[in-house]
Amino acid sequence: MSVQEDKLKDIIGHAKEYGFVFPSSEIYDGLSATYDYGQLGAELKNNIKNYWWKAMVHMHENIVGIDAAIFMHPTTWKASGHVDAFNDPLIDNKDSKKRYRADVLLEEHMEKIRAKNEKEIEKGRAKFGDSFDEATFRNTNPNVVRRSAEIKGIEDKMRDCLENSKLDELKCLIDDLGIVCPISGSKNWTEVRQFNLMFATELGSVSGESAKIYLRPETAQGIFVNFLNVQKSGRMKIPFGIAQIGKAFRNEIVARQFIFRMREFEQMEMQFFVKPGEEMKWYEYWKNFRMKWHMALGFGDKNYRFHDHIKLAHYANAACDIEHEFPFGFKELEGIHSRTDFDLKQHEEFSGKKLRFFDPETNESYIPFVVETSIGLDRMFLAILSQSYKNEKLEDGTERVVLSIPPALAPYKVAVLPLVKKDGLPEKAREIIDMLKLDFNTQYDEKDSIGKRYRRQDAIGTPFSVTVDHDTLIDHKVTIRDRDTMLQDRVLIADLHRIIDEKVNMRKLLVG
C-alpha cells in the first residue's frame, strides 16, 4: 500500500473513531459507497454549507438562495437532456469482473504519462539549477516533447469518440494503448456501453412509464424551473444568481474513494443568469471567485489547479474543474460551467411557458445565458479532512494526531475543562459554557487527565481548550490553549469571548 493510500485509510479510521463519518447501516455490514455523517461530521458539514452560503448569497446582493424539491416533474429530465444523454461509457474487465468508466481509464493512463514528464522536468531542474528554464525544457527535451504529443493524440482521439458516440473506437483506443485492469492486470475487456446514471422510482401506487419519476441527478434543474418565480417575486435584475444546497443522486458504477464518489451526495450550486454575449466575462469572474474561496482556507495554493474539460457536457460552451490534491492525487472538487441558454430554452420548449427576462431599460425580452458553479459538499468535506489530518511528532518525543481544521469550520470552537471534578470547578466550567454557547459550539469534558483531554480536542480539531483550576475561583482567570501552537496563556474569563471570536469568526475567510 502506498503512503497516500495509507493516509486515506488513516483518515477513514479517524473519521469513524471520532464521529465524523460512519459506514451507512453498518450493523447490516453497510451499503456500498454510502456513508452517514456522525455528530461531528454533521457540524463540519453545516459549517462548510454556511461558509459557502455566506460567500455566495449573503456577500452578493444580486444572489438569492432557494430550497427546491428532490422530486421533479419527469419532463424536467427529458428537457434537460438527462434522460437521453446523462450516460457514462462503461467497460468491464472479464477477468476481475470489475466495471470502469472508459474515459476514466484513459484519463488515468494520460496522468501516468504526465507524471513521467513532471519527473523528467524535476531532474532537469536539479541538474541545471538556477539557470533552468522550464518552458524551454518543455519545448525542447525530446522525451518531454514526445510524451506531450502522445497525450495530445490520446486526448484528441478520446474527445472525438466521446462527442460522436464512437464506442467501438473508444474500445480500440484502450486496446491499442495496452491499458490493463488495475485489479487483474489483464487486457481482457468487454465492449464499451452507455449507461444512464439516473435513479428512477414510481410515484404513488400506480406503476408503469406514466408514474416513473427520477431522483434528481443535480440540484440545478430546481433552479432553472424556478427562474421566473424568483426573478419576479424577488424583483431581480440581470445579472443575478440563484443558489441552492441539496441532495443529488447518481447511480455511479465506480463509486469509491470513501466519500469522494457516492450515489447519494450533496451539491452546492449557483446559477448566474447573464445577458447573452456576456457569459465569458462572468465565467472568468466565477472561476477566480471560486478559486479564491478555496484558497482562503489556507491549505496551500499548490493544492489547487484548474482543469479545462475535454468533453463538454451536452449543455456547456466552456467548462473547467477546480481540482484539489486529495490523498489519491489531483481530482475534481468543483465544476464551473458556461451552460449557455440551453436549459431555459429546453424548458420553454417542453413546458410551453415563456422563460424570458424583460429588461425595462432596453424594452428587450430574452432568454438569459447561465454560468454555473457546482461543488460537491462531500468532496469539500473530504478535502478539508485530508488536508487537516496530521500525525505530528512533538519536541518531547511524543506524538499527537491533530485536525487543523480552519477554526471557522471546526465542529467545536472551544472545550471547557475543569481541572478536577470537585471543589466547585465543574460548576465554574458550566458557567463559562453558558456564557459562550450562544455564539460558539462548546464542549464540556471532565474525564481523564488534562493532557489526555487536550489530545482528544486536538483529534477533533477544537481550536481552543480552556482549563478551569482552583485559582480561577479567586482571580477569574483561566488557561487557554491554542490547538495549533499548543501555547497556553492565562486570561480573564471576561476576555474569552473576544479571544475566541477573533480566531473562529468567518469574517476573515469571507473578506480576506
Partnered with residue 242 across adjacent β-strands are 64, 271
The CB-of-97 to ligand GAP minimum distance in angstroms stands at: 22
Cell of 212: 416513473
Can you tell me which of 14, 45, 101, 261 binds ligand GAP, judged by CB under 6 A?
261
The CB-of-268 to ligand GAP minimum distance in angstroms stands at: 9
Q: 409: number of CA atoms within 13 Å, CB side?
A: 25
Distances (CA, A) of 96 to 33, 186, 272, 388: 19, 8, 45, 35
Query: Is residue 425 a contact partner of residue 419, using CB atoms and an 8 Å limit?
Result: yes
Q: Select 322 or 355, whichever has its Cβ closest to ligand GAP.
A: 322
Site string for ligand GAP, 193-222 (x = CB under 6 A): -------------------------x-x--
Can you tell me which of 8, 68, 174, 262 binds ligand GAP, judged by CB under 6 A?
262
Can you tell me which of 109, 171, 250, 477 binds ligand GAP, judged by CB under 6 A?
250
Q: Select 14 or 250, whichever has its Cβ closest to ligand GAP.
A: 250
The CB-of-167 to ligand GAP minimum distance in angstroms stands at: 21
| Only segment of 88-96, 262-270, 273-281, 385-393 that touches ligand GAP (CB under 6 A) | 262-270
Can you tell me which of 14, 157, 171, 379 binds ligand GAP, judged by CB under 6 A?
379
The CB-of-148 to ligand GAP minimum distance in angstroms stands at: 26
The Cα–Cα gap between 306 and 332 comes to 9
Q: Longest Cα pair distance anywhere in the chain, in angstroms?
A: 81
Query: Is residue 366 a contact partner of residue 275, using CB atoms and an 8 Å limit?
Result: yes
Site string for ligand GAP, 343-372 (x = CB under 6 A): -----------------------------x
The residue nearest ligand GAP at its CB is 376
User: How many residues are present in the chain?
Assistant: 512
Can you tell me which of 150, 252, 284, 446 binds ligand GAP, judged by CB under 6 A?
252
Q: Select 261 or 477, whichever has its Cβ closest to ligand GAP.
A: 261
Helix (H) or strand (E) holding 163: helix 142-163
Query: Is residue 177 a contact partner of residue 157, using CB atoms and an 8 Å limit?
Result: no
Cell of 442: 462548546
Cell 460567500 found at: 55
Q: Select 334 or 458, whichever has its Cβ closest to ligand GAP.
A: 334
Contacts of 74 (CB under 8 A, 6+ apart): 212, 213, 214
Q: Select 36 or 202, whichever has its Cβ closest to ligand GAP.
A: 36
Using only C-alpha atoms, the chain has a radius of gyration, in whole angstroms, of: 26
Helix, strand or coil, per DSSP, at residue 455:
helix
Q: Select 105 or 262, whichever has its Cβ closest to ligand GAP.
A: 262
| Residue 334 touches ligand GAP, criterion: CB under 6 A | yes
Cell of 134: 522550464
| Residue 413 touches ligand GAP, criterion: CB under 6 A | no
Cell of 457: 480536542
| Residue 290 touches ligand GAP, criterion: CB under 6 A | no
Neighbours of 225 (CB within 10 A): 21
Cell of 358: 424583460
> What residues between 157 and 196 interact with ligand GAP by CB under 6 A?
none
| Only segment of 232-240, 258-266, 396-404, 447-455 that touches ligand GAP (CB under 6 A) | 258-266
The Cα–Cα gap between 279 and 339 comes to 9
Helix, strand or coil, per DSSP, at residue 371:
strand
Q: Select 374 or 479, whichever has its Cβ closest to ligand GAP.
A: 374
Cell of 390: 496530521
The Cα–Cα gap between 290 and 18 comes to 30
| Residue 325 touches ligand GAP, criterion: CB under 6 A | no
The CB-of-489 to ligand GAP minimum distance in angstroms stands at: 40
The CB-of-3 to ligand GAP minimum distance in angstroms stands at: 25
Partnered with residue 491 across adjacent β-strands are 478
Supply φ then ψ for residue 501, to 5 degrees. Answer: -60, -40
Can you tell me which of 335, 407, 411, 426 binds ligand GAP, judged by CB under 6 A?
335
The Cα–Cα gap between 37 and 43 comes to 9
Q: Among residues 417, 393, 409, 390, which one has the least CA distance to residue 401? A: 390
| Residue 342 touches ligand GAP, criterion: CB under 6 A | no
| Only segment of 62-70, 331-339, 348-356, 360-368 that touches ligand GAP (CB under 6 A) | 331-339
The CB-of-343 to ligand GAP minimum distance in angstroms stands at: 10
| Residue 385 touches ligand GAP, criterion: CB under 6 A | no
Can you tell me which of 374, 443, 467, 479 binds ligand GAP, judged by CB under 6 A?
374
Site string for ligand GAP, 267-286 (x = CB under 6 A): x-x-----------------
The CB-of-334 to ligand GAP minimum distance in angstroms stands at: 5
- Interaxial angle between packed helices 167-176 and 102-128, expressed in degrees from 0 to 180 and rounded to the nearest 10: 40
| Residue 103 touches ligand GAP, criterion: CB under 6 A | no
By CB under 6 A, name the binding residues for ligand GAP.
218, 220, 250, 252, 261-262, 265, 267, 269, 332-335, 372, 374-376, 378-379
